[in-house]
């Protein structure tokens, strides 16, 4: 749930959300809620208002304060709290805020549950508790770091650049890495809720370029970037190469399949063909599903994959950790794998099948037009690439994937904002340029495309 702070959201609205969700939790036999927040300007104020609403509904609350969302999920297990809420708008611009509503361990509400909460608020469907809930504050950072040190072993003293774009990860990731004896180069780790460096999105080329420059300048072994709540990462290798996260899915798949032979590896439709190629060559089973970490987590209750990965930088180590994403844990798992396999990141990437891949490209499109646009683009793809497999069923969810032996192309609409997402790749430059030119021409033929908004749009030129 996201909106513009001060316009769509306010402390009063958050308090009523707390009353509604507190009522919802009680109706699901949950009487306690965990609360945490990211470093946005309104997050602490909103979390306090939400707690007030929870307590009004008779829900006892445990507030862990400023934290990573992965730490929040971890704290559900540590403190045995199934319900709760984390205040964040993830990678949205600074003027936004929102929240993720927890209904079970590592489990948040998706569309149907959110719509039920909306109806409850519209109908003033709240139930005041027989007695007011008790509010307490708990600091769990030390316990979280101690638990990570029990789970992960890193034998090499890496030099690591950490760049969270002045957001939440800056207060904990460097401390975690130093607890493993690693050398940390802090870059933009000071908190600044105005987002002075722009939107903290690790999939943006501008963010990756900044990390690249710091890695090269300091001679670091690797560089990491994070989004505002710290559940997603971006990486740069020791040579300054920007490594997109679908390539990282393939690297993690090798590690997972070495320990869980023949298992399923789940990934979304935006992922490179290198993932399926790698999973197949290492004896695993590929399972492609729609974009959205909530959808992937929900589907994995059925699939039981030990690992899930997304291009956006969400990674779930469901067999080794929990069925949720945690950027700090992902950082450590990559370093652990490189340490154990005695490789640099560039060496690990070089051993994979090679594709020329675009970044995740975002182009503006109004919310009320993006669904029909993707439907029309799907029909056009079927006509223009009749020899290709077109994936537009429930696996695609909100988009379509064109699959060819040597290439792929994906277009989909965002669930979080007024834009569509594009990704394409090919083994050879000629096919890559063909797909790029096709998309550029095609998108310019649709008047609903808003070119005033874009992320990585230069990759279409």
What CATH number should be reported for the domain holding residue 181?
A: 3.40.120.10
The predicted pLDDT at position 112 comes to 87
Q: Are residues 24 and 133 in the same domain?
A: yes
Question: What's the rounded mean pLDDT across residues 418-439?
Answer: 96
Residue 148 domain-assigned?
Answer: yes
pLDDT at residue 430 tops 80: yes
Does 90 participate in catalysis according to the annotation? yes
Residue 83 resides in a domain: yes
Quick one: 135 and 147 in the same domain? no
pLDDT above 70 coverage of the chain, percent: 100
Mean pLDDT computed over 253-279: 96
Q: Is residue 328 part of a domain?
A: yes
Query: pLDDT category, 433, cuts 50, 70, 90?
Result: very high
pLDDT score, position 295: 83
pLDDT band at 91 (very low <50, low <70, confident <90, very high): confident
The verdict on 272 and 367 lying in the same domain is no
Is the pLDDT score of 293 beyond 80?
no
Contact in structure between 119 and 25 (CB atoms under 8 Å)? no
Average pLDDT over residues 424-451: 96
pLDDT at 416: 77
Average pLDDT of the segment spanning 329-340 = 98
pLDDT of residue 38: 97
What is the CATH classification number for the domain harbouring 411? 3.30.310.50
| Per-residue pLDDT, 273 | 97
Domain assignment of residue 446, yes or no:
yes
Note down the domain range covering 103.
2-139
Answer yes or no: do 32 and 130 share one domain: yes
Determine the average pLDDT of the residues in 62-73: 98
- Is residue 291 located within the same domain as residue 336? yes
Whether residue 109 lies inside any domain: the answer is yes
| Final residue in a domain of this structure, among 214, 241, 268 | 241
Q: Is residue 360 part of a domain?
A: yes
153 and 40 in a common domain: no
Choice among 39, 90, 318, 357 that is catalytic: 90
Structural domains in the chain (count): 4
Question: Mean pLDDT, the chain, as a whole number?
Answer: 95
pLDDT in tens, 294-320: 788 888 889 999 999 998 899 999 999
Domain boundary among 199, 225, 241: 241
pLDDT above 80 for 32? yes
Domain assignment present for 262: yes
- pLDDT of 198: 94
In this predicted structure, what is the pLDDT of residue 297? Answer: 80
Q: Both 271 and 157 in a single domain? A: no
Q: What is the pLDDT of residue 301?
A: 84
Say if residue 251's pLDDT is above 80: yes
The pLDDT > 90 percentage for the chain reads: 92
Kindly report, residue by residue over 373-426, the tens digit of the pLDDT.
999 999 999 999 999 999 999 998 899 999 999 999 999 999 878 999 999 999
Residue 111 lies in a domain: yes
Mean pLDDT of 98-112: 91
11 plus 123 within the same structural domain: yes
Looking at residue 300, its pLDDT comes to 85
Q: How confident is the model at residue 120 (pLDDT cuts 50, 70, 90)?
A: very high
pTM as predicted: 0.92
């Amino acid at each position: 749930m996201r909106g513009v702070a001060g316009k769509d959201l306010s402390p009063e609205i958050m308090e009523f959300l707390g009353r509604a969700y507190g009522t919802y939790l009680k109706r699901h036999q949950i009487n306690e809620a965990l609360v945490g927040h990211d470093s946005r300007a309104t997050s602490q104020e909103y979390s306090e208002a939400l707690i007030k609403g929870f307590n009004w509904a008779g829900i006892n609350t445990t507030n862990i304060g400023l934290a990573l969302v992965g730490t929040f999920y971890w704290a559900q297990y540590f403190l045995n709290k199934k319900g709760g809420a984390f205040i964040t708008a993830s990678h949205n611009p600074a003027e936004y805020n929102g929240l993720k509503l927890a209904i079970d361990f590592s489990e948040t509400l998706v569309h149907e549950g959110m719509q039920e909460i909306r109806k409850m608020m519209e109908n003033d469907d709240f139930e005041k508790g027989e007695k007011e809930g008790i509010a307490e504050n708990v600091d769990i950072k030390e316990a979280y770091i101690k638990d990570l040190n029990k789970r992960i072993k890193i034998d090499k003293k890496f030099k690591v650049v950490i760049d969270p774009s002045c957001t939440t990860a800056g207060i904990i990731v460097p401390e975690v890495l130093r607890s493993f004896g690693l050398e940390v180069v802090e870059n933009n780790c000071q908190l600044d809720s105005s987002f002075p460096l722009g939107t903290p999105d690790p999939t943006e080329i501008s963010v990756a370029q900044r990390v690249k420059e710091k890695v090269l300048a300091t001679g670091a072994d690797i560089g990491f970037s994070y989004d505002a709540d710290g559940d997603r990462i971006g990486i740069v290798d020791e040579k300054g190469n920007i490594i997109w996260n679908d390539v990282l899915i393939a690297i993690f798949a090798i590690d997972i399949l070495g320990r869980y032979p023949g298992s399923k590896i789940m990934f979304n439709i935006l992922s490179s063909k290198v993932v399926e190629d790698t999973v197949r060559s290492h004896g695993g089973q590929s399972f492609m599903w729609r974009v959205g970490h909530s959808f992937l987590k929900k589907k994995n209750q059925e699939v039981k994959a030990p690992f899930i990965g997304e291009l956006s930088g969400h990674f779930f180590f469901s067999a080794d950790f929990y069925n949720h994403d945690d950027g700090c844990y992902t950082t450590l798992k990559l370093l652990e794998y490189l340490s154990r396999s005695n490789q640099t990141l560039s060496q690990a990437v070089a051993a994979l099948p090679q594709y020329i891949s675009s970044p995740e490209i975002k182009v503006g499109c109004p919310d009320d037009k993006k669904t029909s646009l993707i439907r029309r683009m799907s029909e056009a793809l079927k006509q223009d690439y009749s020899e290709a497999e077109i994936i537009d069923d429930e696996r695609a969810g909100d988009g379509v994937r064109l699959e060819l032996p040597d290439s792929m192309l994906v277009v989909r609409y965002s669930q979080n904002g007024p834009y569509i997402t594009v990704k394409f790749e090919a083994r050879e430059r000629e096919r890559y340029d063909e797909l790029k030119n096709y998309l550029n021409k095609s998108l310019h033929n649709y008047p609903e495309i808003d070119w005033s908004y874009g992320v990585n749009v230069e990759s279409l030129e």
